[in-house]
Amino acid sequence: MKRGGYLVAVFLLKAGVALQLDKHPLLQPNTGLDTTAYVELAQRVLAGDVALGPGLYYVAPLYIYFLAAVYGVTKSFLAVRLLQAALGTLAVLLIFLTARQWFGRRAAWISAALAALTGIFTWYEALILQSSLDVVLTALALWLLTVILSRADGEGSPRRRPFAIAQGDGGILAGLAFGVASLNRPNMLVAAVGVALALFAVKRLRDGGLLLAGVLLALAPVTIRNVVVAHQWALVSSHGGINFYIGNGPGATGYFHDVPGMRSTIQGLAIDTEESSYYSSRAWSHIRAHPMQWIALLLRKAYGTINAAHVSIPFSYTFYAYDAGTLLRFCVVGPWLLVPLGLFGLAVAAPRNRHYLAWVAFVPAYAASVVLFFVTERNKLPLFVALAIGAGAGVDALLRHFTARRAAALALLFVAVNWPLHLGDGRAEERLRMAEHAAEHGDAQEAERWARLALESHPGDARTEYLLGRALLAGGRSSEAVEHLQHGLSAAPLAGYDLAVALQQSGNLAGAAQALRAVQMPPDTPVETWLQLGKRAGQLNAPDLAESFFRRAVAIAPNLPRAHHLLGLALFAQRRYADAAPEFETTLRLDPTNSDARTALAYCRKVTSQE
Same domain flag for 135 and 42: yes
Q: Is the pLDDT of residue 437 over 50?
A: yes
Phi and psi at 336, nearest 5°, equal -55, -30
- The answer to whether residue 450 is domain-embedded is yes
- Residue at which a domain ends, from 417, 451, 466: 417
What pLDDT, on a 0 to 100 scale, did the predictor assign at position 71? Answer: 97
pLDDT in tens, 308-367: 999 877 889 999 999 999 999 999 999 999 999 999 999 999 998 889 999 999 999 999
* pLDDT value of residue 560: 93
- Per-residue pLDDT tens over the stretch 404-421: 999 999 999 999 999 999
Residues 487 and 538 in one domain: no
**14-18, 152-156, 493-497: least confidently modelled range:** 152-156
Spatial distance between the Cα atoms of 122 and 326, rounded to a whole number of angstroms:
11
pLDDT digits (tens, 9 = 90+) for 40-70: 999 999 999 999 988 888 888 999 999 999 9
Q: How many CA atoms lie within 13 A of 563 on its CB side?
A: 19
Q: Average pLDDT of 443-465?
A: 85
Residue 422 falls within a domain, yes or no? no
Number of structural domains (the chain) is: 3
Residues 281 and 392 in one domain: yes
Question: Is the same domain home to 565 and 502?
Answer: no
Lowest mean pLDDT among 135-139, 189-193, 231-235, 580-584: 231-235
Average the pLDDT over each of 255-264, 379-388, 391-400, 559-568 and give the range with the smallest value: 255-264
Q: Are residues 111 and 223 in the same domain?
A: yes
Averaged pLDDT score across all residues of the chain: 89
Residue 255 β-bridge partners: 375
Which pLDDT value is given to residue 97? Answer: 97
Shared-domain flag, residues 388 and 329: yes
Mean pLDDT for 443-472 is: 85
Most confident of 203-207, 361-365, 528-532: 361-365
For 35-47, the pLDDT digits (tens) are: 998 999 999 999 9
Query: Between these two residues, 32 and 470, which has the higher pLDDT value?
Result: 470
Distance separating alpha carbons of residues 543 and 549, to the nearest angstrom: 10
| Pairwise CA distance, residues 548 & 537, whole Å | 10
Give the model's pLDDT for residue 177: 97
| Residue 97 · residue 144 · CB < 8 Å | no
Q: Are 543 and 503 part of one and the same domain? A: no
What's the confidence (pLDDT) of residue 276?
66
**pLDDT (average), residues 535-564:** 92
- Under a CB-based contact definition with an 8 Å cutoff, are residues 139 and 95 in contact? yes
Which of 417, 449, 475 terminates a domain? The answer is 417
The rounded percent of the chain whose pLDDT value lies above 90 is 62
Residue 164: per-residue pLDDT: 46
pLDDT reported for residue 494: 80
- Band of the pLDDT at 440, cuts 50, 70, 90? confident
Does any domain span residue 424? Answer: no
Confidence tier at 153 by pLDDT (50, 70, 90): very low
Domain boundary among 376, 394, 417: 417
Residue 425 lies in a domain: no
Contact 240, 186 (CB under 8 A): yes
* Residue 282 pLDDT exceeds 70: yes
**Main-chain dihedrals φ then ψ at residue 494, nearest 5 degrees:** -90, 5
pLDDT greater at residue 518 or residue 308: 308
Domain hosting residue 127, numbered range: 3-417
511 occurs within a structural domain: yes
Examine the domain organization and report whether 472 and 333 are in the same domain: no
Are 584 and 607 members of one domain? Answer: yes
pLDDT digits (tens, 9 = 90+) for 230-251: 888 878 776 677 888 888 989 8
pLDDT at 129 over 70: yes
In a domain, 7, yes or no: yes
Whether 426 maps to a domain, the answer reads no
Phi/psi at 566 (nearest 5 deg)?
Answer: -65, -35
Q: What's the pLDDT tens digit per position in 377-405?
A: 999 999 999 999 999 999 999 999 999 99
Positive or negative torsion for Cα 295, 300, 303, 306: negative
User: Do 400 and 474 sit in the same domain of this protein?
Assistant: no
- Examine the pLDDT at 263 and tell me if it is beyond 60: no
Q: What is the mean pLDDT of residues 152-159?
A: 44
DSSP 3-state of 418: coil
- Indicate whether 461 pLDDT > 90: no
Torsion of CA 58, 61, 64, 70, to 10 degrees: 180
Burial of 102 (0-12, 13-18, 19+ CB in 10 A): buried
Residue 444 shares a structural domain with residue 575: no
User: Is it the case that residue 154 has pLDDT exceeding 50?
Assistant: no
Contact (CB, 8 A) for 228 and 52: no
Please state, in angstroms and rounded to a whole number, the distance separating the CA atoms of residues 152 and 161.
9
Amino acid at 219: L
**Residue bearing the bigger pLDDT, 78 or 429:** 78
DSSP letter at 507?
A: T
- Residue 127: inside a domain: yes
Report pLDDT for 156.
40
CATH number for the domain including 539?
Answer: 1.25.40.10
Give 382's contacts (C-beta < 8 A, 6+ positions apart): 134, 135, 137, 138, 181, 185, 188, 191, 366
- What is the average per-residue pLDDT within 298-315? 91
Alpha carbon distance 270, 8 (integer Å)? 40
Query: 511 with 546, same domain?
Result: no
pTM for this entry: 0.83
Could you tell me if 140 and 95 are in contact, meaning their C-beta atoms sit under 8 angstroms apart?
no
